[in-house]
Amino acid sequence: MKNIIVAQSGGPTTAINASLVGVIKGALSSGGYDKVFGSLYGISGVLKEEFIQLENLSDEELHRIYSTPSSYLGSCRYKMPEIHEDSSIYEKIFEILNKYEVSAFFYIGGNDSMDTISKLAEYGSSIGSDIRFAGVPKTIDNDLVATDHTPGYGSAAKFIVASMLEFAHDTSVYKTPTVTLIEIMGRNAGWLTAAAALARNEYSDIPQLIYLPEVPFSTDNFIKDVKEVLKSTNNVVVAISEGLQDADGNYLSATKAACDKFGHAQLSGVGKILENLVKEELGVKCRSVEINILQRCAAHMASAEDLEESELLGEKAVEYAREGKTGYMTTIVRTSNEPYEYKIELANLDGIANQVKQVPKEWINPSGNDVTSEMLDYVRPLVCGEVDIEYKDGVPVYADISHLTGAV
């Protein structure tokens, strides 16, 4: 009996279940594996032997999981200890993997998850185990190195672009000067915020200004920029990254701008802080809008390209494991921008986990308040294509997650 375990970890995205379906399909179609165990709540589900079996799902069920947001198997934020510090947890995991006759383990996740899979592979090698370990990338932030982009990024970007265009309509209706600040996710990398530029079209140049964490943020320059744009339009919309930092590397959102009624420090988001600044400095109507968690879970606006690639990354991970490879992450290598073409390759996990890929400085304009056409060429193909979502009584139909919610 040769079985596999698949698990998901880290923050939710719209594409992480497409990779799950890729792993399941890859395992079943290869004929090389028998059972597919889904570990609930990431690696912590392995330790507790909380498994559900996935090899008997129908095509219809698989398709529904494919287009369902967030992690079908649940998630965790579990940091594995260094092997030399505490090997007992590794021993326990391998004991369980052997008990369930597991010959390959697939972990779909971001930075921390790649760290986990890397350590498991390392421990496996050290004891001469032939269990294969593979990572499948995932993060809306697109900040993983070694891959052209990450699953989840394209869908989040698509939702942001569509929203930004809808904001352009919403904010154009009055003749009074107004500034609208749209706060977008990405603590250390501005990929998502940069994507907002795709909303510009022949009748709208919104967002007129874009600020990424890659550029030290100056409130003086920001106010000057907004003032300048207000000279030619009543309707200024600005895309700002939640991770903006000053020249000393301090997050704007950590300036404790406000205190609550008990006098306790209260962290404000960047949007709220800059909203108050605009009102103070320019005396103009200003509203800040946080797109918030919708950008990572609005599966009704997923990018078809993103989900297809995510599935393929899962399938290929299984294929490589069958070939005997271990300790890798599947990656996307872009071979052409126009037409957009790519292939799936492998990257060794060493060094992936603790790096952050930022928007290249050359893709940001010299003033640090916009992105260049290279950035647009990069992201444009990733938001393409719409996913057919089933609706019932006007509401999207997603996969049943009662194994997580505990509903009877």
Q: Any idea which residues carry the catalytic annotation?
A: 141
Residue 218, token pair as written in the block? 């100056």
Pick one of 89, 145, 289, 346: the residue that binds a copy of itself (CB under 8 A): 289
Residues 57-86 that bind a copy of itself (CB under 8 A): 68-71, 74-77
Cβ(124)–Cβ(324) below 8 Å: no
Pick one of 83, 344, 346, 404: the residue that binds a copy of itself (CB under 8 A): 404
Q: At what angle do helices 153-171 and 304-322 cross, to 10 degrees?
A: 170
CA distance linking residue 275 with residue 297, whole number of Å: 26
Q: Are strands 391-392 and 395-396 parallel, antiparallel or unpaired?
A: antiparallel
Q: What sign results for the dihedral spanned by CA atoms 15, 21, 23, 29?
A: negative
Residues 167-196 that bind a copy of itself (CB under 8 A): 167-170, 172-175
Residue with smaller CB distance to a copy of itself, 172 or 188: 172
Residues 224-253 that bind a copy of itself (CB under 8 A): 233, 235
Pick one of 82, 248, 260, 323: the residue that binds a copy of itself (CB under 8 A): 260
Pick one of 196, 298, 359, 375: the residue that binds a copy of itself (CB under 8 A): 298
Q: Does 400 bind a copy of itself (CB under 8 A)?
A: yes
Cβ(35)–Cβ(97) below 8 Å: no
Peptide bond into 151 cis (omega under 30): no
Q: Does 205 bind a copy of itself (CB under 8 A)?
A: yes
Residue with smaller CB distance to a copy of itself, 239 or 299: 299
Q: Does 12 bind a copy of itself (CB under 8 A)?
A: yes
Q: Does 198 bind a copy of itself (CB under 8 A)?
A: yes
Q: What distance separates the 2 farthest-apart alpha carbons in the chain?
A: 71
Residue with smaller CB distance to a copy of itself, 28 or 273: 273
Q: How many residues bind a copy of itself (CB under 8 A)?
A: 80
Residues 348-387 that bind a copy of itself (CB under 8 A): 380, 383-386
Residue 146 CB, nearest approach to a copy of itself (Å): 25
* Cβ neighbours around 88 below 10 Å, total: 8
Q: Does 52 bind a copy of itself (CB under 8 A)?
A: no
Q: What sign results for the dihedral spanned by CA atoms 128, 347, 306, 333?
A: negative
Residue 271 CB, nearest approach to a copy of itself (Å): 10
DSSP symbol at 30? H
CA-to-CA dists, residue 397 to 152, 223, 256, angstroms: 20, 45, 41
